[in-house]
Amino acid sequence: MRFLLSGGQACILYGATEFSRDADVVVLLSDENLGALRQALRELDAEQIFVPALDPELLRRGHACHFRCKHPEAVGIRLDVMSVLRGCDPFPALWERRTTVEIPGLGEVPLLSPRDLVQSKKTQRDKDWGHVRRLVDGDYLTRRHAARDEDLAWWLAELRTPSYLMELAAAHADAAARIECRPWLSEAAREGEDSLERELFAEERRIRAEDRAYWQPLRQELERMRHKAGPL
């Protein structure tokens, strides 16, 4: 099955979050791949726990499908399946950028790349913003001494720790001035951490509002499905 691990489990493997019993996966929408997914769900003895049912058209529109595993080796684990992530590229591009990790006893597991994982975590939920911060901080701190231009641009656009952002903007003033999504960056960095904190807070509020607007019609549709379906 062609899938990418995302969510909290991917954050764990990048060293950016706490323990999680949920597993979020992004899947390729094809008949063959969905057939393999359904077979995996049968092997996991997974039951649907919320609407909607596993349907390619609903996945294509951005819905998630939710399951609880009953197999003895995975009992109680919740599995959330998606195909579209708000603000992220389609699956083929995510697959090309994937990271692969070797897990003892499991073999190779494909993950969303750190940059795609960061984008997927820009939601309404408070805990996700902690993940975003730790993911970008970790990437910056481990790779800053061998940075490419594209790395500098990404860190300047995504860092959320004011001290790191101020440090980087001061060292690469020309690059900071070219970050279109943060036109305030150069001036705020010169003014100090308090100014950066205010701009970052405003940026986060805007992105949270965009996420709420994205999910509102999907939630309304889910509510209609729930009333129609009755108790699972």
Decide if 83 contacts 27 (C-beta within 8 A). Answer: yes
Tokens standing for residue 217: 């019609």
Phi and psi dihedrals of 111, rounded to 5?
-120, 155
pTM: 0.94
Task: Return the CATH class of domain 3-117.
Answer: alpha beta
* Residue 53 per-residue DSSP state: P
Q: Tens digits of per-residue pLDDT, 40-97?
A: 999 999 999 989 999 999 999 999 999 999 999 999 999 999 999 999 999 999 999 9
Would you kindly state where each structural domain of the chain is located, as residue ranges? 3-117, 126-214
Alpha carbons 165 and 192: distance in angstroms, whole number = 10
Rg of the chain over all Cα atoms, to the nearest angstrom: 20
Return the closest-CA partner of residue 86 out of 46, 131, 122, 40: 122
Q: Tens digits of per-residue pLDDT, 169-226?
A: 999 999 999 999 999 999 999 999 999 999 999 999 999 999 999 999 999 999 999 8
